[in-house]
Amino acid sequence: MIYSNNKLPDNNYRILTEQINSTSIDLDIKSTYEIVKLFSEADKEPQKAVENSIPEIINAIDKITSRLKLNGRLFYIGTGTSGRLGVLDASECPPTFCTNSDLVQGIIAGGVTALTKSSESLEDISELAITDLKNRNFSNRDALIGITASGRTPYVLAALDFSKSINALTISISSVPESDSTLSNDVDIRLITGPEILAGSTRLKAGTATKMALNIISTSVMIQLGKVYGNRMIDLSVSNDKLMDRAIGILFDIGSVDKKTALQLLKKTNGSVKLSLLIALTGMDVIEAKQLLNDSEGNLRTALITVKSY
């Protein structure tokens, strides 16, 4: 079946993500070396795109953090590659930062099936996005990042409009200028990566820039929520041998305890690296340390400063 759309724009005009990249005109007759070299050079552009969007990314991080501190949640929503990137980032938060699986959620048109099977037909169903958000009890306390490289995906546009209409924090990530697409949002992140090496394939540069931005946003939010000390992930979930080794290493490096003591501390604290560190650094018992962390809003550095001030 060939899809037909009578609303297609004039062929003389293409949005940025659909334009032709002049450096790859003869892509099909280039050598493997030339193709790889092209990609290598092109993949410098996502880094520039993220750098050019630093003010908007900072604004998004600060606003999301404020929502989460007030018991809000963060949602990513998208279709295709954009949706998969959001689901990937959300799914990494529980093991990396020991978050509840509800705190950061990824929604993709078509649900779990769409993670491995194409579901392009769902991109155009606006109502589905609103249903998907309502099924998660999305509210005005929450934050939404709508990801649409083209800035024109109906599913994502509907989600952004709905989020804005109920006064939830609304953030958009796209790879086109405002002249190509106007989006409903409180924060407008435009990752301008230009035409793709393979025309229209936004899983390439646009997808790379989006992945970079999501990494920065989620990690920075978790830092501000007290889940990092120095540059160590002190709220990691100790759920396998690798993560156990990492937890022991953190306790050794920061808490100056040997492996045996580290294991004893982790057993006492049900695997909490943060709580184990506080005990190792202050000599407190588990109950005292838990109370201090609660009083410090889960921030280890704040807790340690409090101890030193007495």
Residues known to be catalytic:
92, 123
Give whole-number Cα distances, 166 to 22, 133, 161, 287, in Å.
43, 12, 9, 41
| DSSP secondary structure string for all residues of 189-227 | EE----S-SSTT-TTTHHHHHHHHHHHHHHHHHHHHTT-
Distance CA 160, CA 128 (A): 13
- The DSSP H or E segment spanning 270 is none
Distance CA 50, CA 41 (A): 16
Distance CA 123, CA 132 (A): 13
26: how many CB neighbours lie within 10 A of its CB? 8
**Burial call 111-131: b when 16+ CB within 10 Å, e when fewer:** eeebeeeebeebbebbebbbe
7: how many CB neighbours lie within 10 A of its CB? 4
Q: Which two tokens stand for residue 50?
A: 């993220």
Is residue 71 within 8 A of residue 150, CB to CB? The reply is: no
Is residue 270 within 8 A of residue 246, CB to CB? The reply is: no
The SS3 of residue 27 is helix
**Burial call 222-237: b when 16+ CB within 10 Å, e when fewer:** bbbbbbbbeebbbbbb
The SS3 of residue 20 is coil
Distance CA 286, CA 122 (A): 51
